Amino acid sequence: MIVTGHTSSGGHTDPLQGQQKAASIRDVAQAAGVSYQTVSRVINGHPNVREETRKRVETAIHALGFRRNATALALASGVTRSVTVLTSNTVLYGYAATLQGLEEAARAAGYPLGVRVVTPEDDLDRTIASAADTGGGLVVIGYDRLGAAALDRVPAHVPCAALVEAPPPGRTPDRPAVWADDREAARTATEHLLALGHENVHYVAIPASTGTRRTAAPRAEGWRQALRAAGVTPPAPSGKGWDAQAGYEAGRKLARNPDVTAILCGNDDLALGVLRALHHAGRRVPEDVSVIGFDDAPHSEFVTPSLTTVRMDFHGLGRAAFTLLRSQLDTDQQAPLPVPAEPTLVLRESSGPRAV
């Protein structure tokens, strides 16, 4: 059931008409007995204002509850301090956590934050243009194909920072960007499983952010490298999506193969689906099969068996990306780039030694 209430208590006209419109710079000037340019100087902290004048203006500002009109400021100065986040998703854990980090950083810096979800139906150029002509800068979450495609189309003159998958070693993205070393993390997780005695490690992949085969997704690449280094031939990865359902489907197939004793998953949602499929197939975790996820979503610690996973500092990445953008928008303010925490393997119940 949904119900709606309304402010007006009956009539269809607002009794308190007008609602005296917000005080402008001129109102303040008049109240303080100065010209409005002087008011402008005061609110912008210009040095050349007599102390007494400044006081008078500040008093008037308080008395009238003056707040500088952001729209006029943007139009007159040609500068807009704001961020718009372009992302294909807002609810998956990695995205939501990144967004949270971005919002925190933006809020701390006094930047309004906008969110614009990109869909496959979008005309990317139009989307970017409309997001950009708000005036401020863009932060693009390029974790997936859609986000990466959007990033590629951001015009060079638009201030922009990106969150991307780890680029191939030695290659630097052509735009300011931050990333975590997923490749190394996946390698570590895979090595851990091998060290536990598993003869092979299967991988349930998240969708790749690039179309080209050459540039393999870093998590897949790290897994593959670890296997190769151990002289193991990597089996074909499975996985057709981001969520638990996709993990479940991949897991059902893997569960049928008795040779499968260790599974690395591209994220915790996939891992949850895999756990479920193994459960349905009657294969115990970790006694029969070990499962490791990626991201350390909040619930991963509380499911049974609790999930061994790679903790990612999405929050820190979000903060870093904002800082990267801000340094483009506000060249005065070159804050040091906050360094996100390294990915960490968190050992829990879902992984263990291979049963002999």
Provide the binding-site residues for DNA, judged by CB under 7 A. 21-22, 24-26, 34-38, 40-41, 43-44, 47-50, 52-54, 66-69, 72-73, 75-78
In whole angstroms, the minimum distance from the beta carbon of 136 to DNA comes to: 15
Q: Return the number of the residue (5 or 45) whose C-beta is nearest a second copy.
A: 5
- In one-letter notation, the amino acid at residue 259 is D
In whole angstroms, the minimum distance from the beta carbon of 262 to a second copy comes to: 20
Closest CA to 103 of 321, 299, 335, 341: 321
Strands 83-87 and 137-142: parallel
From 298, 334, 347, 355, residue interacting with a second copy (rule: CB under 8 A): 298
In whole angstroms, the minimum distance from the beta carbon of 298 to a second copy comes to: 6
Closest CA to 350 of 268, 280, 281: 268
Task: Note the Cα 143 to chain centre separation in Å.
Answer: 9
- In one-letter notation, the amino acid at residue 185 is A
The item of DNA, a second copy, none sharing an interface with residue 288, based on CB under 5 to 8 Å by kind, is none
HSE-up (13 A, CA, CB side) for residue 305: 25
Q: Return the number of the residue (9 or 48) whose C-beta is nearest DNA.
A: 48
Q: Are 311 and 334 in contact (CB under 8 A)?
A: no
**Applying CB under 8 A, does 322 fall inside the site for a second copy?**
no
Q: Return the number of the residue (159 or 352) whose C-beta is nearest a second copy.
A: 159
In whole angstroms, the minimum distance from the beta carbon of 134 to DNA comes to: 13
Q: Are 150 and 118 in contact (CB under 8 A)?
A: yes
**Applying CB under 8 A, does 128 fall inside the site for a second copy?**
no
**Applying CB under 8 A, does 221 fall inside the site for a second copy?**
no
**Applying CB under 8 A, does 244 fall inside the site for a second copy?**
yes
**Applying CB under 8 A, does 263 fall inside the site for a second copy?**
no
**Applying CB under 8 A, does 26 fall inside the site for a second copy?**
no
Closest CA to 323 of 337, 313, 339: 337
For residue 141, list its beta bridge partners. 163
**Applying CB under 8 A, does 207 fall inside the site for a second copy?**
no
Q: What gap in Å lies between CA 287 and CA 273, rounded to an integer?
A: 18
Q: Are 117 and 87 in contact (CB under 8 A)?
A: yes
From 293, 340, 350, 352, residue interacting with a second copy (rule: CB under 8 A): 340
HSE-up (13 A, CA, CB side) for residue 11: 5
Q: What gap in Å lies between CA 347 and CA 94, rounded to an integer?
A: 19
The item of DNA, a second copy, none sharing an interface with residue 34, based on CB under 5 to 8 Å by kind, is DNA
From 47, 120, 236, 302, residue interacting with a second copy (rule: CB under 8 A): 302
The SS3 assignment for 42 reads helix
From 30, 69, 188, 344, residue interacting with a second copy (rule: CB under 8 A): 69
Total number of residues binding a second copy (CB under 8 A)? 79
Record the tokens describing residue 353, joined without a space: 């030694």
In whole angstroms, the minimum distance from the beta carbon of 299 to a second copy comes to: 5
